[in-house]
């Protein structure tokens, strides 16, 4: 249990730190930190329930992307200012390192295993972002056409 609390706290610090790095100001740094913690908690819950790498990354990124789109307008910031720092805890840097390291050292079997897992994680993240962006694009265009009566 304490390990989950430490991971969640580190997710907050990481997301808040990247927010500062991206010149996010004020309360948005805290909001992005909370979003990063939420993304990690959702990842842990989904992975614990389904034991699927792809679906855990897809669901957690999907929820964070929806949250980013919903928060961007009231906070008057671009969606990417909210989305990128919130998904930073999900980025599989360790897998990328292990894949490249094993390629360089000639251990191709281990590299293939790491690469397959890396592709699953990145596919989950990318497909979730694309799905949410498409859904919100459709919603905004329908609202626009209804507003102008076209």
- Reduce the DSSP state of residue 22 to 3 states and report it: coil
Give the separation between CA 128 and CA 66, rounded to whole angstroms: 9
Helices 27-50 and 53-75: crossing angle, nearest 10°? 160
> Which pLDDT tens digit goes with each residue over 42-70?
999 999 999 999 999 999 999 999 999 99
Both structure tokens of 91:
């980025």
Both structure tokens of 46:
């989904």
Map out the domains of the chain as residue ranges: 2-148
> Which pLDDT tens digit goes with each residue over 69-115?
999 999 999 999 999 999 999 999 999 999 999 999 999 999 999 99
pTM of the predicted model, to two decimals? 0.92
Give the separation between CA 123 and CA 47, rounded to whole angstroms: 16
């Amino acid at each position: 249990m304490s390990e989950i609390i430490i991971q969640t706290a580190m997710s907050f610090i990481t997301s808040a730190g990247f927010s500062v790095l991206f010149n996010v100001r004020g309360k948005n740094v805290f909001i992005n930190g909370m979003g990063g913690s939420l993304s990690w908690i959702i990842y842990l819950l989904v992975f614990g329930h389904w034991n699927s790498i792809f679906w855990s990354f897809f669901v957690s990124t999907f929820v964070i992307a929806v949250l980013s789109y919903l928060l961007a307008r009231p906070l008057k910031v671009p969606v990417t200012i909210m989305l990128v720092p919130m998904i930073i805890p999900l980025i599989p840097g360790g897998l990328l390192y292990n894949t490249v390291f094993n390629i360089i050292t000639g251990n191709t079997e281990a590299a293939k295993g790491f690469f397959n897992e890396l592709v699953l994680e990145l596919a989950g993240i990318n497909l979730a972002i694309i799905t949410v962006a498409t859904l919100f694009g459709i919603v905004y265009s329908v609202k626009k056409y209804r507003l102008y009566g076209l």
